Amino acid sequence: MAGRVLHLLSQQPGHTGSGVILAALVEQAGRAGWAQRVLVGLPAEEPLPALAGLEAGGLEALRFGESPLEFPLPGMSDVMPYPSSRFSALSDAQLARYGEAWRARIAAAVAGFAPTVIHSHHVWLLSAAVKDVAPRVPVLTSCHATGLRQAALCPALAPAVREGCRRNERFLVPHREGARALERWLGVPPERIHVQGPGFRDEQFHARDRAPGARGTVVYVGKLSNAKGVPSLLDAVPELKRRHRDFALHLAGSGGGAEGEALARRASAMEDVTVHGPLDQAALGALMRRAAVCVLPSFYEGLPLVLMEAAACGCRVVASDLPGLAESLAPSLGEALQRVPLPRMLGVDSPDPLELPAFVERLVEALDAALAAGPPAGPPAGCAEHGWPAVFRRIERHWRELGG
């Protein structure tokens, strides 16, 4: 018999990788008969989103932009696809109110819902606070890599996060390299850390009605930010247009703040570059089926779900050679994937500016080769194991074991 799971996410659901994962988990768990409660962070004016698989009244939100949290919702990335605060810019008083508010809402949810297991997202402040108010409820925490990134950006907060999170019973990480990094950082035994790669919605991302003749079309999906490598991708456009007369670049996503707005303006002013803004899953799958290649030139990621989604839609994939990519996704993607060596990194997501021209050249060559090769014969066979039904069964096993 299924149990009772409380989901915790400090961000808006559906807008980022962890938000998409949360929505998919809730839908799959609903199908499997789990009773669910979901607690998320939302701006004061944002309506509650609809989550498939969740009964009416099952979604609650901690609101930002109103008392006592008058500041914008903080994001796990410093550039979010909506207005946000940076943890590194919050005052001590704001951080204290942030923690107090989450602890109060978690305590109320636990008292009212009585979960058998809690599934929190991100090894950061929210997950570190759970055991303060729910010491007897087992906790599974998904690490999406951005928590360790925030620890590097906010070193003063890292000790409290480390002490709080290491009380949680189990952790899910996207790849083995992430498991090793989390083990070192948290100081927990390796048997408490489990590798679980990304899942994708196979009903939305498939190649069944793939459009023919999209040989020159490249799609990028993600936030418009420097850390995602978007400036380097735009730098590559003129040479790719010279080599491929039918070249066109589509950007699906947005970026908050001056950085994201500047990149959107730059891209919009370029010939044969289309800025779509954020797309829902159905529209994104349709766009991928019209593209030849999906590109991810990012300088930092957890395990990018978009690569598997694009491959399932019949795209070739060009991506930065991110940590964990070779061992985790490369075997499933096979010849559909082409990796681009990263430049030397000066920080967690900050490349050496002197090495960016060479990185752009490598990106051009990889995209040129992928476009010239044409679409693969079909989606890689390894995609099946990353569909959400299969991924959920593996996650559900942890819920059942922890919840008794």
The more confident residue out of 198 and 172 is 172
For position 18, what pLDDT does the model report?
87
CATH number of the domain encompassing residue 36: 3.40.50.2000
For position 324, what pLDDT does the model report?
75
The CB density around residue 196, as the number of other CB atoms within 10 Å, is 17
The more confident residue out of 19 and 288 is 288
Asked whether residue 222 falls in the same domain as residue 354, the answer is yes
DSSP H or E run through 316 = strand 316-320
Lowest mean pLDDT, pick from 5-9, 78-82, 98-102, 332-336? 78-82
Separation between Cα atoms, residue 392 and residue 386, nearest integer Å: 10
Enclosing domain of residue 14: 4-199+387-403
For position 369, what pLDDT does the model report?
97
Q: Do 98 and 11 touch, CB atoms closer than 8 A? A: no
Q: Which residue has the tokens 């590559």?
A: 236
Asked whether residue 177 falls in the same domain as residue 259, the answer is no
Does any domain span residue 229?
A: yes
Q: How many domains does the chain fold into?
A: 2
Asked whether residue 246 falls in the same domain as residue 353, the answer is yes
20: helix, strand or coil: helix
For position 213, what pLDDT does the model report?
64
How do residues 40-70 score in pLDDT, each as one tens digit?
Answer: 999 999 999 999 999 989 999 999 999 999 9
The more confident residue out of 256 and 274 is 274
- Whether 383 has a pLDDT exceeding 90, the answer reads no
Q: Do 134 and 106 touch, CB atoms closer than 8 A? A: yes
Separation between Cα atoms, residue 285 and residue 335, nearest integer Å: 21
Q: Which of 57, 58, 9, 61 is nearest to 29 (CA)?
A: 58
Asked whether residue 299 falls in the same domain as residue 244, the answer is yes
- Whether 404 has a pLDDT exceeding 90, the answer reads no
Asked whether residue 28 falls in the same domain as residue 73, the answer is yes
Rounded alpha-carbon distances, angstroms, from residue 138 to 4, 21, 105, 130, 141: 12, 20, 17, 10, 10
Does any domain span residue 267?
A: yes
Rounded alpha-carbon distances, angstroms, from residue 65 to 73, 74, 92: 7, 11, 17
Asked whether residue 188 falls in the same domain as residue 284, the answer is no
b/e per residue 373-404 (b: at least 16 CB within 10 A): eebbeebbebbeebbbeebbeebbebbeebbe
Does any domain span residue 9?
A: yes
Give residue 286's identity as a one-letter amino acid code: A
Asked whether residue 96 falls in the same domain as residue 166, the answer is yes
How do residues 88-133 score in pLDDT, each as one tens digit?
Answer: 999 999 999 999 999 999 999 999 999 999 999 999 999 999 999 9
